[in-house]
Structures are given as C-alpha cells and as structure tokens.
Amino acid sequence: MTSPTLQHGFAEQNVLNGYGCTGGNLSPALQWSGAPEGTQSYVVTLYDPDDRDNPSGWWHWVVYNLAGNTTALPPGAGSDGSSRLPGGALHGRTDLGTLDYTGPCPDKGDAPHRYTFTVYALDVPSLAVDSGASGAMVVETAREHLLGKGDLVVRFGR
C-alpha cells in the first residue's frame, strides 16, 4: 500500500477539523497492488493504536465491500456520500460515530501517533455486516475471509 498524498506525512488537508485541530479532513489518495489470487473484495481502514484515551485504539476510517478489481482510492473518497468512493463500497462507523474519514488529531504533547492504513484482500465479494458497522466488527469479520493484507504507517503529532 502506498500514497502519493502522504509521501511527506499528513498534510493539513488530511488532518481533522475539530477537537483543536484545523485541517481539511480530506482522506488521502491510496494505492495498492499485488493482490493474492482469488481476491474478490477489499476492506481499507485507518487505525491509531496509540490513542491514550482509548486503550483499544481509535478507528479513523473504515471502507468495505470494495470490488476485487479496485487498486486505488482517490483523495476525498472518505467523505460520507462521496461520488469518489467506488460503487458498491460502504463506509463503516468510525470511533467518532461518523460514516466518513476522520483525520488525525492527537492530543497536544503526545509523542507522534502511528496511523496505520491497512488494505485487506478477501475471498468474498462482500462482508455480511450491517451498514455502518464499526471498524472492529468489519475487521473481525474480514479476518474470516482474509487472503492477505498490506499496511502503510504514517506518524503524526502536534
């Protein structure tokens, strides 16, 4: 997994607008390749394992039921209702309770957090989860159908 948008880290346009941050809250462009044979769909997530207020980490973005021939998400695909999200794909619920991308905004003074983008290649065309399922539910269900995965870790602090 790579990102032409994140080559030098998160830009202000990708940071959350709220909770003391003043970013554009725009999801970055993502690309992936090398799908395992038999891939029928993908899940893409953004997860922060370093959130000190939530010991189980923080889900910033969840997209599932991406068609197996998908190899990229354009910038802005994370907006709820975005026409930039490929047809048939769904947003899961973030830990802010929204159905769209929520950019990074770690507490001031924290060491930079590790924001992990993950693409999961699955052996089914869609996941049997409710619309708006949580990141934890989507990933747990995806693990039952996992063929392979790739990560991109971007550190960010303020």
Using CA atoms, how far apart are residues 23 and 90, in angstroms rounded to an integer?
24
pTM of the model: 0.96
Alpha helices in the chain (DSSP H): 135-143
Q: pLDDT of 75-133, one tens digit each? A: 999 997 778 899 899 999 999 999 999 999 999 999 999 999 999 999 999 999 998 89
Superfamily designation of domain 12-156: PEBP-like (3.90.280.10)
| Contact between 120 and 149 (Cβ < 8 Å) | yes
CA distances from 40 to 4, 21, 61, 122, 148 (A): 25, 38, 21, 6, 12
pLDDT at 118: 98
Token representation of residue 78: 């994370």
Q: How many CB atoms lie within 10 A of CB 19?
A: 10
**What is the pLDDT at residue 53?**
80
Looking at residue 56, its pLDDT comes to 87
Which residue ranges make up each domain of the chain?
A: 12-156
pLDDT single digits (tens) 1-42? 999 999 999 999 999 999 999 999 999 999 999 999 999 999
